[in-house]
Amino acid sequence: MEYSIKCIGLLTSGGDAPGMNAAVRAVTRTAIFNGIKVKAIYRGYKGLITGEIREFQTQDVSGIIGRGGTILKTARCEEFRTPEGRRTAYETMLREQIDALIVIGGDGTFTGARELAKEYNIPIVGVPGTIDNDLWGTDSTIGYDTALNTIMECVDKIRDTASSHERVFFVEVMGRDAGFLALNSALAAGAEAAIIPERKTPEEQLEAFIGNGLRKSKNSSIVIVAENPEIGGAQGLANTLKEKHPEYDVRVTILGHLQRGGSPTAYDRILASRMGVAAINALLEEQRNIMIGIKNDELVYVPFSKAIKDDKDVNPDSVQALQILAI
Ligand code: ATP
C-alpha cells in the first residue's frame, strides 16, 4: 500500500514559547516544498474540536521568524482530555482531510497527541515548544534559551539595586516541576543560589544556603527560586529568612509572564527552523508518534512515551558550579 500524506494539520498548544512562530514557518514551508497541504489549526486542540482551521500558503508565514508568541494562538483545552472530545477532533480531521498532525508544545500536548494517535491510528510528530526545557530526550526545547536570556537580563538589573542597597533578593522564575530556568539563569547571572525542585526540599536548600554564609564576602545576595505555590513561592522563602535573620534587608521579585515574551534568540530561531524541517522529514520517513529532539547538536526522534516521562534531571556539574562560584 502506498504511504502518502497529502495534508497535515499544524497547531501550537500549551504555554506559548518564543520560537513557536519560527517552527510554524519551518513546518509550513517544508510541507509545501514537499507538495503537502498545510491546514493551520487555531488555539491548539480547541481549534481541532471547533474546526477553527485555515489552509496556509508560504506567504502566511512571512515575517514571523522574529516574533514571540504564536500566530496560531494557543489554549488549554479540557474537552480534549476526554475520549468524546478527541472523537470530535478526529471527526474534524476526517472532514478537513487532514492525514497527519504536527503539534508544537510541551508534555501535556504530547500526552494528548499520544492518546489521539492510539485511539485513531493517526501519524503525529511533536516539536518541543516550551520555555521549561522539561522534556526528556532533548538537550533544549524551543523557547528555553530566549527565556533564560530574558531572566538573565532581569537579574542583572536586580543586581544593581541589590548591591547598592546591600539587600538579599529572592527572584521567582517559572518552572514548577523543572529547575532548568532557575539553575541556569542563576549561573548566567552570577546569582548566589538557586532553589529548584530537583534537589531536596526548598526549605532544606534555603537552610544550606544560610549555612554556607548567605553573603560571605559580598554585600548583596540573589537567590533564584523556581516557582512553587506549596511553599508560597519566593515570598514564602523570603518570610522564612526574615524570621530567622531579621538583620537582613530581604526583597522579592516575581518575574511572571515577561519570561514568556519577546523576540526569540538566534539559538531558538535556528533550533525551531531545524526541528520544523525535521518534523516533516520524519513524516515522510513514515515516523509517527515521536518528538523531534536535539542531542549534541544532532536531531533525534524520541517516542512520545519517553519524551513525557518525568525524570529529566538538571546537570549535576551545573549545580556544583553554582555552589563553587558563589563563594
Ligand atoms: P507547557 O509545558 O508550556 O505548559 P504543555 O503542552 O505541557 O505546555 P498543557 O496545558 O499541560 O501544556 O497541555 C496542553 C493541552 O494538551 C491541554 O490543554 C489538553 O488539551 C492537552 N492534554 C494535556 N494532558 C492531556 C491528557 N492527559 N490527555 C489528553 N489531552 C491532554
Could you read off the pLDDT of 56-110 as tens digits, one per residue? 999 999 999 999 999 999 999 999 999 999 999 999 999 999 999 999 999 999 9
Residue 13 Cβ inside 6 Å of ligand 1? The answer reads yes
What span, in angstroms and rounded, lies between the C-alpha atoms of 237 and 187?
A: 20
pLDDT of residue 316: 93
Atom 13 of ligand 1 has which residue's CA nearest to it? 108
pLDDT above 70 for 44: yes
Ligand 1 centre to CA of 109 (Å) is 4
pLDDT above 60 for 215: no
Closest CA to 116 of 78, 88, 137: 88
What span, in angstroms and rounded, lies between the C-alpha atoms of 70 and 18?
A: 8
The helix or strand, by DSSP H or E, that contains position 317, with its residue range, turns out to be: helix 316-325
Q: Average pLDDT in the 221-240 region?
A: 90
Ligand 1 centre to CA of 112 (Å) is 6
Atom 14 of ligand 1 has which residue's CA nearest to it? 14
259 CB-near residues (< 8 Å, 6+ apart): 131, 147, 150, 151, 173, 174, 181
Closest CA to 178 of 204, 199, 157, 163: 199
Domains of the chain from N-terminus onward: 7-143+264-309 (3.40.50.450), 145-260 (3.40.50.460)
Catalytic residue among 132, 134, 145, 268: 132
Q: Average pLDDT in the 163-191 region?
A: 93
3-state secondary structure of 10: strand
Is 132 marked active-site?
yes
The share of the chain scoring above pLDDT 70, in percent, equals: 97
Give 136-156 pLDDT, tens digit per residue.
999 999 999 999 999 999 999
Ligand 1 centre to CA of 282 (Å) is 23
Residue 106 Cβ inside 6 Å of ligand 1? The answer reads yes
Pick the atom of ligand 1 nearest to 46's CA.
20
pTM above 0.85, yes or no: yes
Residue 77 Cβ inside 6 Å of ligand 1? The answer reads yes
What span, in angstroms and rounded, lies between the C-alpha atoms of 175 and 155?
A: 16
